[in-house]
Structure 1
Amino acid sequence: MRIISGTYKGKRLTAPKNLPVRPTTDFAKEALFNILRHRIDFHNSSLLDLFAGTGNISYEFASRGTEDITAVDMHYGCVKYINSIAEELSFQISTVKADVKKYLNSKHRSFDVVFADPPYAFTPEDLQKMVEKIFNNDLLNSEGIVIIEHTKHTDLSHVVNFKEARRYGGSVFSFFEI
């Protein structure tokens, strides 16, 4: 994987092979950030990265100037890897080792961007519940955006606060706003 833009543009990162992850492809990630650069101010935004995996999305935000990033993943190896890269590149990323479903059940602060890349095995019902918990637990600031990455075989257009979906290869980004 590589960082697409920002301070560390072109930086290649190699995650340990034993991590249970499916990183967002560079193609899909570049398309996502082309959309986001017109919607958010990276320097003044906060990010909650759910199912953070290798930290791929967190690094993109950090490289673009975001200093308020929380990455949540339940796998110890993923959290350890994110911490090591954050230290190496002096990124301001706070990690939380937790099951995302349990994390969403408790009250936390709100963020400008909530990004979630759950396992593709999540059912549409699981994804809908996750989006509802994000909104019901006030994890999103009033002008914020929720982005869910999921398989092209899942349609979330019926979920509350859905705005649009963009497909890139086998991946889809669904966007939700208040």
Structure 2
Amino acid sequence: MRIIAGKAKGHRLKAPKGTTTRPATDLVRGAIFSILETTTGDWAQVLDLFAGSGALGIEALSRGAGWVDFVEHKPRCCGIIRQNLEKTKLTAQAHIYCCSVAKALSFLDKEYSIILMDPPYSNPSI
């Protein structure tokens, strides 16, 4: 898995091991950002829910987002997001909230120009 475009293009990202987290593939991320780049002009504040490896939010930062808030409840994944941000030198433009999405939504009071969500499909409560 790698960053597709922008200032961090080509950087390989770590992904959580196992089958409980499945990062969005390069092809899927490419399609998402192709649509966003033609329809969205404001990339100032981005929210990445169910962030997993952080691939979606880091792709947004690489393509010019001003700030990304990552929300992920698994501590192991939060560590991987941190490592991926450090590797791509984008740490200064991000914050990682290691808590449930429900909890984060109860206190995040920013207006976001883009909200990215890649929830686990095995969780029927979402």
TM-score by length of 1: 0.63
- Asked if 2 retains the 8 angstrom alpha-carbon contact of 1:47 and 1:68, the reply is yes
Structure 2 match to 1:88: 87
- For 1:111, what is the secondary structure of its paired residue? coil
Query: Would the aligned equivalents of 2:14 and 2:53 in 1 still touch at CA under 8 Å?
Result: no
Unaligned stretches of 5+ in structure 1? 128-178
Give me the identity figure in percent: 35
Structure 1 equivalent of residue 60 of structure 2: 61
Larger Rg: 1
Higher helix share: 2
Aligned-residue CA RMSD (Å)? 1.9
Query: Structure 1: how far apart are the matches of 2:85 and 2:116?
Result: 18
Change in CA separation of 1:16 and 1:28 when aligned onto 2, cut-off 3 Å: closer
Give the Cα separation in 2 of the matches to 1:99 and 1:53: 12
The amino acid across from 1:116 in the alignment is M
Structure 2 residue aligned with 1:99:
100
CA contact (8 A) 1:19 1:78 kept: no
Larger RCO (CA within 8 A; separation ≥ 6)? 2
Q: What is the aligned partner in structure 2 of residue 159 from structure 1?
A: none
**Counterpart for residue 24 of structure 2:** 24
CA deviation digits over 1:26-57, x for unaligned, max 9?
11111111101112236x42100000000010
| Paired positions, count | 124
What 5-or-longer segments of structure 2 have no aligned partner? none
Partner of 1:37: helix, strand, or coil? helix
Distance 1:110 1:95 in 2: 17
- SS at 1:38 equivalent: helix
TM-score by length of 2: 0.86
